Amino acid sequence: MIQVLHISAECYPAAKTGGLGDVVGSLPKYNTQAGVLSAAIIPKYSLKWINNEEWATVYQSAVWVNWRQWTFRVQQERTNKLGYPLFVVDIPGLYDRPGIYNDPSGSPYGDELERYITFQQAVLDWLLSFPWQDRPRVLHCHDHHTALIPWMVKYCPAYQQLAPIPTVFTIHNGQYQGAFGWNNGHLLPPYEASARGLLDWGGIINPMAAAIKTAWAVTTVSPSYLYELHQNSLGLESLFRQEWRKQHGIVNGIDAQVWDPATDPMIQHRMEGPHISTFKTRNKRALCEWFGFPHDPPLISFIGRMVGEKGVDLLPDTIRRFIHAGSRASFLVLGTGETWTENQFRSMAHQFPGRFNAVIDYNEALAHQIYAGSDFLLMPSRVEPCGLNQMYAMRYGAIPIVRSVGGLKDTVPDIGEPGGEGRGIRFDHFSLEDAGHALHRAVSMYHNNPDIVDHLRQKVMALDFSWERTIERYFDVYRSVGATIAPVQTVPDSEAAAEIPPVVKKTAARKKAPAAAKTTASPSPKTTAEKKPATVKSTAKSPKTRSKDDTTKSKTSRTAGKPAVNKPASKTKTKKQ
């Protein structure tokens, strides 16, 4: 029986634009490994990984949204290859598209409201079909796309049978709250009149606010970010303060099995034994050759979405100043995002060959290689709820240079702080001066104190950021809301996969709008072979290949010295919501 059901818009490797996908992709696996069988459910997008898997239909039905009946199927990945059951909700007309949030040209889909409301109702409709004793013990909702569920189960008569199940809502990004006007209120399922106020914040419907009010527990992905939300959360500050009792800040883990320098198939040279400096030198050499950098100066990289939140707009001038000051370092950036920033980076690559290069792309394999080959990873974020990249970087021996915000503050103590806990270099203010100063500190340490750099690398690579360490914190939260989760002896994969029986639903038992045929469908076998993850190749000539479902255009800034990198299946967008 599934004890915890994670409900989300993203789940790696099926669908990912950022950290949300990584977390929802790994949390259920580690829950399950700890004996608490957990599953994830996301919409069925038309993306490469999803299209290549085999799915068994376990439920089909229909929900009414916007006076329209949406038929849907819930399907389960047949082989349980992720280490937990993954379900998708197939809603033809709403999700069978090649992007998660945006179309291939980068424009957001115009009907996101209808999409999320329908998805959430479909999930609940499916859960109603479980015999009560087989229902999950916790519904764990992630970000605004699933934020109406805690409210729906309490106040929509159609779903109230599920009200006894504790709901936990995790905020990965408080910038996106999913708000919409009351003129679209008719999209919601019928609800008790008294529950209207719970949807409202500032005169509009705000799903994130509704979840903060109605979920049994609210978590966010680091204690510092929780504190920051109380100070500044685009209007929700007083609500956060009011509801503080049920809030918890829990730093994310990383999937230490995927992010393992000793086994990672995406990097050029794996870590062998304790030989950190050989590992770093070889991987750095590979990167420097691809990008035409000299080998001696430190290599400082940025990886991520090129958006305001990530502070990436600070980089062009910081790097220009640094180069003009004659300091010795090379810079590499990888990501896509706002056009202004992308263009700045393109022109800098032409202006500073051998010092700066940019790959305007979303490329998981190249990202792994950059962590392995860089000396430093720069994260100047304006807002950073947790941040996973600094943890990936540390695991691969790249020392983080971060702004002191959110999860960065919690995971990267500065080397100058008393107590000898330092893991990297931190700066406080979002300014050219502070960022520039941090860079100079890093570079001077690299040139003048190589022994400190070696020591730091050793230290950060030995840190344990795995989920095993933090999973208990989530179990505590589940227990704090009365969920009767109980670790059981390891569930064999096959048994776990078979755990959820196909269900027949009685339409008549439901009060909701017009009848929809609900039957048990026979599994629909699809036999596309599973793709292996792509590996990085070092031939400088051949261009990167892109999966056809990839929704951003590959725009490498320079034509010379590009790495040949195959994107692994399933990568999608770089823009969050």
In angstroms, the CA 328 to CA 272 distance is: 30
Burial of 289 (0-12, 13-18, 19+ CB in 10 A): middle
- What string marks each residue from 119 to 158 as x (binds ligand GLC by CB under 6 A) or -? ----------------------------------------
DSSP, residue by residue, 506-575? -GGG--SSS-----PPPP----PPPPPPP-EE--SSSPPB--TT--S--EES-STT--EEBPPTTB--SS
* Minimum CB distance to ligand GLC, residue 380 (Å): 13
Q: Does 20 bind ligand GLC (CB under 6 A)?
A: yes
Q: Which is it for strands 376-379 and 425-427: parallel, antiparallel or unpaired? A: unpaired
How many residues interact with ligand GLC (rule CB under 6 A)? Answer: 14
Q: Does 388 bind ligand GLC (CB under 6 A)?
A: yes
* Minimum CB distance to ligand GLC, residue 397 (Å): 20
Q: Does 221 bind ligand GLC (CB under 6 A)?
A: yes
Select the span of 16-24, 350-358, 541-549, 552-560 touching ligand GLC (CB under 6 A).
16-24
Residue 173 or 214 having the CB closest to ligand GLC: 173
* Minimum CB distance to ligand GLC, residue 116 (Å): 17
Number of Cβ atoms within 10 Å of the Cβ of 282: 18
Q: Does 23 bind ligand GLC (CB under 6 A)?
A: yes
Kind plus residue range of the DSSP H or E element containing 88: strand 86-90
* Minimum CB distance to ligand GLC, residue 404 (Å): 14
Residue 382 or 437 having the CB closest to ligand GLC: 382
In angstroms, the CA 534 to CA 13 distance is: 13
Select the span of 276-284, 384-392, 410-418, 450-458 touching ligand GLC (CB under 6 A).
384-392
Output the six-digit token pair for 353.
């060959």
* Minimum CB distance to ligand GLC, residue 427 (Å): 18
Residue in 385, 400, 424, 568 binding ligand GLC, rule: CB under 6 A: 385
Residue in 152, 250, 386, 435 binding ligand GLC, rule: CB under 6 A: 386
In angstroms, the CA 243 to CA 358 distance is: 44
Q: Does 18 bind ligand GLC (CB under 6 A)?
A: yes
Residue 318 or 390 having the CB closest to ligand GLC: 390
Distances (CA, A) of 144 to 8, 165, 310: 9, 19, 20
Which 239-278 positions form the footprint of ligand GLC (CB under 6 A)?
252
Q: Does 384 bind ligand GLC (CB under 6 A)?
A: yes
Is the distance from CB of 268 to CB of 359 less than 8 angstroms? no
In the structure, how many helices (H) and strands (E) does the chain have? Answer: 18, 20
Amino acid at 322: F
Residue 92: asked if its preceding bond is cis (omega within 30°), the reply is: no
Residue nearest to ligand GLC (CB): 19
Q: Which residues, listed in sequence order, are joined to residue 334 by a DSSP beta bridge?
A: 303, 359
* Minimum CB distance to ligand GLC, residue 387 (Å): 5
* Minimum CB distance to ligand GLC, residue 461 (Å): 20
Residue 189 or 249 having the CB closest to ligand GLC: 249
Burial of 546 (0-12, 13-18, 19+ CB in 10 A): middle
Residue 114 or 384 having the CB closest to ligand GLC: 384
Interface contacts to ligand GLC, rule CB under 6 A: 18-20, 23, 172-173, 221, 252, 384-388, 407
